[in-house]
Structure 1
Amino acid sequence: AHQHLKLTDIHNLTPANELFDTVVVFENYPVEDSAVEQEASTLSLTHAEARDATHYPLSLMVMPGTGLHLRFDYRPDAFDRPHVEGIADRFVRILKAVAASARQFVRDIPSCSEDERERILNAWNNTTHEVPGTTLPDLFEQQVARTPDALAVTGGGTRLTYAELNARANRLARYLADRGAGQERLVAVAASRSVDLVVALLAVVKTGAGYVPIDPEYPGERIAHMLRDADPVLIVTQAETAEKLPAETAVDASRLVLDDPVSRALLEDQDPSNLSLDEHRPNRLLPQHTAYVIYTSGSTGRPKGVAVSHAAITNRLLWMQDEYGLEPTDRVLQKTSSAFDVSVWEFFWPLVAGAAMVVAARGEHKDPAALAGLIRTEEVTTAHFVPSMLGAFLQHPDAATCAPLKNLICSGEALSVELKNQALRTLGGSVHNLYGPTEAAVDVTFWECRAADDTVPIGRPVWNTRVYVLDAGLSPVPVGVAGELYIAGAQLARG
C-alpha cells in the first residue's frame, strides 16, 4: 500500500537512525537459456511470481520481443486510470505513425487525436458573441442619456453626475480638438489621481484620439522615452505633475495645465454639448481607431507602446458587464495607476454600465487602512487587487470591515489557493481570477473561485476570444501537457 514512498519519506517516518541493515540484489544478466541450464544442472526453479513498482508518479517499461510490449505503471494519487490510458493511446498512435512512415519528423506527428483536436481548437473556444460596432464615447454618451442625474464619479471631495461629467469632458474635448486631437492621433495625459484625470481620459476619446497615460511617479528617463515614442499632439497635465515631466523631451507638443486659472477660464467658455460630425469631428470615429496606448516594459525591458482599438476594449467591457452585471447602486473602486491596463476597465466599465466610480486619492490607493476606510464610507461593491497587494490588504484588521464586497477581481499575478480562501472568508463576496496581457485588451480568460477548489486556474476565454496551448511547432498539445499560451480574437492590440 505504501510502495510509492520515497526512501527519504520512509526514513523520515521511522525512528531508526539506520534505514537499512541488509540488502540483497539479484542481477539478471541476459544469457542464453542453454547456458543457464548447464550452470544450474543441480538446481531447479519450479515457480516464480514477481511484482515490481517504483515510487515515480508514472513509469513506462518497454519489453522487446516479436513485438514491443509496453507497460505503464502509475501512482493513483498522481494520475487516474483514464488519464494514463490517454497517454498510452497517444504513445501507441505516435509509434504506429513512425512505423508507417519512418522518414517523417517525429515533431510533425500530431500528439492529439482528431476528437481531442476538435475539442481543443473549437469546442473549448466557441466564444462567438455578437457585439455592436461601437466606441467608448458612444457607450458613455448612451449611458448619460439614460441616467443623467445619477452619480458617475466621486473623488477628492468632488462628486459629478453623469450629465456634469459629460459636460466637463465635452468642454475639454472641444478645446483639444481645436488643437489637433483627432482620429489616429495621440494625446498624453499626465495627471494625478483625481476626477480631473477621469475627465481628461473621457475628453481625449471623445475627440477620436487615443490617450497615452503617463504616471507622474515614473522615472524621468522612462517618461521622456514614452513621450518621444508616442509623439503626442498634446500633453494634458496639472501644475503639480507638470513639474515632474522632463523639460526636454524632444516632443513638439503643447501642454494644457488643467488647474491653471487661464486654462480653466478657457474651458468654461467651451460648448458642453456632445461633439458631432462638424468641424470638431470631420471624420466618423470608428471601432477600429485607437482608443489608448499603454506602455509595457516588454521582454527587453524597454517600454513598448501597445495600441488598443475601441473594438477591442468595448468587447472586453460589454463581456464584463454581461458576466458580472453592475447595477446603478454599485460602486467601483478606481485605484490602479492609469499607466497599468487594469485601470482601463476601472475607468470605463462603471461609466458605460450606469454605476459610479470611486477614485482613490494619491497615497490612499496603496494604504490598506485608507483603502478599507474608503471602501466602507463610499460603499464600494467592486474592487481589483493584484494578489500581492491583496495579501497586504487582508492582513490589516480593517479589511474585515469591508465585508461583504460584492466582487473582488484579481489579476496581474498568480492567485494562490490560500489567498483565494482568505479573501472568500474575510470579504464574503465573489472572488474572480482573470488573466491577460496588455496586448489583448486587459483580460482574455476568467474564473470564478470557489472555496472547495484546490487550484486557481486562469479559466476560460471571454467573448470572441480564443486561447490555445501549443508546442514548439505551433500544434495543440493534449490536455495535461505543458506548452505556450497563444491568444487570438477580437481583443488583440493593433499590429
Structure 2
Amino acid sequence: TMLVFQNVPEASIDLPGVRSVMEAVESSSIKYDLSWTFSETRAADDSVALNGHLQFSLDLFDRATVEALAQRLLLVLRAMVADPAARMSTIDVLGEEERHRILVEWNDTAAEVEPATLPGLVQDQAKRTPDAVAVVAGGVELSYAELNERANRLARFLIGRGVGPERFVAVQMPRSVELVVALLAVAKAGGAYMPVDPGYPDDRKAFMVADAAPVVVLTSDGVDVGDVGGTDVVVLDEPAVIRQVAQQPATDVTDDERREPLRREHPVYVIYTSGSTGRPKGVVVEHRSVVDYLAYTRKTYSAAEGVALVHSPVAFDLTVTALYTPLVSGGRIVMAGLEDEDAETAALLSRTPNTFLKATPSHLPLLENLPADYSPSGHLLLGGEALHSEGLHKWRAQHPHAVVSNVYGPTEATVNCTEFRIEPGQKLPDGVVPIGRPQSNAQV
C-alpha cells in the first residue's frame, strides 16, 4: 500500500485564449496493490481543499470493498476535523449501516436447540440404532446398546461413590472403549469429567487434581495417576470393581437415582488449557453448551454418520467434535493414534474407510505419509492453530473429493464458534486461510 500527499502548487499553463484543467486518466496498470493519493489545492480566495484519488488492484479487491475502505477513511478525517485533539483510539471507523451489518446481520445465527443433556442425546441414538457399532478400539467393539448399558451400570456405581451434579471426576485412562464408557458414565451420573492425559508430567497431574478437587479418580491398571492427595482412586479393570459394576442395572439412569436432578446448566466436563500463561486453567463447559454445539455439528457434518477416527487425547477439546458428533448421529468412532500406525488399525480402516476426522494443521504431514484410509474421504476439520494454504495443497491433491473446514474457537466457546468451508474443487485462498463465519448461536 502506498500513501502519497501532494502539497506542491499545481503548475498551470498560461496561454492566450487557452484554459487548462486536470482530468483523470484511466490506467490498466498499478504500481501498488492499493494506492491513496491526496492533493492539496488552494483557491483564489486562499481557501484550501483536499482532493483524494484511490487506485486498487482488481485481482485483490472488488469495488465494494474499496468503497468501504474509503468511507471509513472519510469518517476518520471528519472526526479529526471536528476535534483535532481527539485520540485515535476514540475515533469510530464504522458507519451506522456497516456497524449494523457486521454486528447484527452477520451474527444473525439464532437456531432452536432441543432442551437435552449429553447423555440424553447418546441414549436417544442408542434407541434408534441399538445394534450398530458405536466404538472400536484395541480390537474391541461395542454396539450402541452395549455402550449405553455399560455406561448405565458404571454410572450407578459412581453415584454410590458420591458422583453427581456439580461434582468433578478425574478420568486418567489410555485410549480404549473403556475410556468412552467412563466419560459417558460420569455424564449419566450427573458429574463432570476432567480428562487427564496419562502422559502428562506428574506436577501437572497433581495440580489439576488439587485444583479441581474431584470426588474420585477413574483409571485402569498400569496407569500411574501420580499424587492425588486423599482422592478416591477407582481402577476400573480390577476384578472387584468389575463385579460391583456388573451387578448394577443396565437401564437408563433417572433423576430419582441421581444425587439431584440433572439440568442443562450443570457442568459436563472441565478441560485444562495448555497453560500458556504459566499455569493451566480449567474451563468448565455445561451440558447446554455441548448440546448446542452438537446440534450444529450433527446438522453440518453428515460425514460423521460414517466412520470417525478419534486420534487426539480426550484432554483436548478438539476431541469433543470427533468423539460425540458420530455418537449422536449413528456413526462409528475408531480410537487410534496417527503417530502409531499399526496393522490392526490399517486393516480395520481398509474394511471400513474413515469418513470424518478432526486434526490440527500440524497433523497434515502425518496424514500425507500414512495409508490413504487414515485420511477422511468425506470431511476433514482443521483447527487449533493457523492454517496456511501452502500446507494444505498436497493433502487436497491426494484427496480431491473431501470437504475441508478451517474451524476456530477458544475452549471457553465450547470447541469452535466459526468455520470456513472449502468444497472439493474450490480454489484455496492465498496465505492464511480465513476462520470463516460464526456457527449457529455464535456471535463474533
Matched, 1:375 2:349: yes
The range that moved more, 409-418 or 224-233, is 409-418
Q: CA deviation at 1:460?
A: 1.0
Moved more, 199-208 or 72-81: 72-81
Corresponding position of 1:61: 38
* Distance in 2 (alpha carbons) for counterparts of 1:60 and 1:369: 63
SS at match of 1:142: helix
CA distance in 1, matches of 2:360, 2:273: 17
Is the contact between residue 417 and residue 442 of structure 2 (CA under 8 Å) also seen in structure 1?
A: yes
Aligned residue number for residue 423 of structure 1? 395
Give, in angstroms, the shift of residue 92 of structure 1: 2.1
Q: 2:393 & 2:121 partners in 1: Cα distance?
A: 36
Aligned to 1:118: 100
Rounded Cα–Cα distance in structure 1 between residues aligned with 2:233 and 2:127: 32
List aligned pairs for 1:435-450, cutoff 5 A.
435-450=408-423
Q: Distance in 2 between matches of 1:135 and 1:29?
A: 67
**Structure 1 regions of 5+ residues with no counterpart?**
6-27, 38-45, 468-495
What do the CA deviations read for 1:361-416 (whole angstroms, capped 9, x no partner)? xxx432357665553233221112211112222134x23x5577111111112222
| Counterpart secondary structure, 2:153 | helix
Task: Provide the C-alpha distance between the structure 2 equivalents of 1:165 and 1:145, rounded to a whole number of angstroms.
Answer: 12
**Partner residue in 1 for 2:436:** 459
Q: Does 1:355 align with 2:313?
A: no
Task: Indicate conservation of the 8 Å contact 1:143/1:353, yes or no.
Answer: yes
User: How many angstroms apart in 1 are the aligned matches of 2:65 and 2:138?
Assistant: 56
- CA 1:87–1:180: 2 relative to 1, 3 Å: same
Q: Match of 1:485?
A: none
Correspondence list, 1:65-464, <5 A: 65=42, 66-76=47-57, 77-101=59-83, 104-241=86-223, 244-246=224-226, 248-250=227-229, 252-278=230-256, 280-326=257-303, 330-360=306-336, 364-367=337-340, 373-396=347-370, 398-399=371-372, 405-427=377-399, 428-450=401-423, 451-455=425-429, 456-464=433-441
- Distance in structure 2 (CA, Å) of the matches to 1:29 and 1:313: 60
Give the letter aligned to residue 416 of structure 1. H
Pairwise CA distance, 1:132:
1.3
C-alpha spacing 1:175/1:317, structure 2 compared with 1 (3 Å)? same
> How many correspondences in the alignment?
420
The one-letter amino acid paired with 1:375 is: L
- Cα pair distance change 1:334/1:30, threshold 3 Å: closer
Structure 2's unaligned 5+ residue stretches are: none
Describe the superposition over 1:205-240 as per-residue Cα deviations: whole angstroms up to 9, x where unpaired. Answer: 001110000000011111111111111000000111
TM-score w.r.t. structure 2 length? 0.86
Counterpart of 1:196, as a letter, is E
Matches of 2:201 and 2:315, distance apart in 1 = 13
Amino acid at match of 1:117: R
Q: Give the CA deviation at 1:119.
A: 0.8
Residue 293 and residue 438 in structure 1: after superposition, are their counterparts in 2 closer, same or farther (change >3 A)?
same
Instruction: Supply the distance in 2 between the matched residues of 1:402 and 1:295 (Cα, whole angstroms).
Output: 28
Partner AA of 1:459 in structure 2: G
Secondary structure at the aligned position of 1:448 is classed as strand
Report SS of the residue matched to 1:139: helix
Q: Is contact 2:75-2:92 (8 Å) kept?
A: no
Letter in 2 for 1:57: L
Q: CA deviation at 1:81?
A: 4.3
Mapped contact 1:129–1:464 kept (Cα < 8 A): yes
Distance 1:80 1:448, change over 3 A: closer
Contact conserved, 1:420 with 1:449, CA < 8 A, in 2? no
Distance (whole Å) between structure 2 residues aligned to residue 392 and residue 161 of structure 1: 30
Give the letter aligned to residue 274 of structure 1.
D
Cα distance in 1 between the residues matched to 2:67 and 2:134: 57
Which is further off, 220-229 or 74-83?
74-83
Where 1:465 maps in the other structure, the secondary structure is coil
Contact persistence 2:107–2:442 (CA under 8 A)? yes
Measure, in 2, the Cα distance between the counterparts of 1:314 and 1:341. Answer: 14
Separation of aligned partners in 2, 1:88 and 1:180: 63
SS in 1 for 2:48: coil
Structure having the higher Rg: 1
Q: RMSD in angstroms over aligned alpha carbons? A: 3.0
Distance 1:442 1:255 in 2: 29
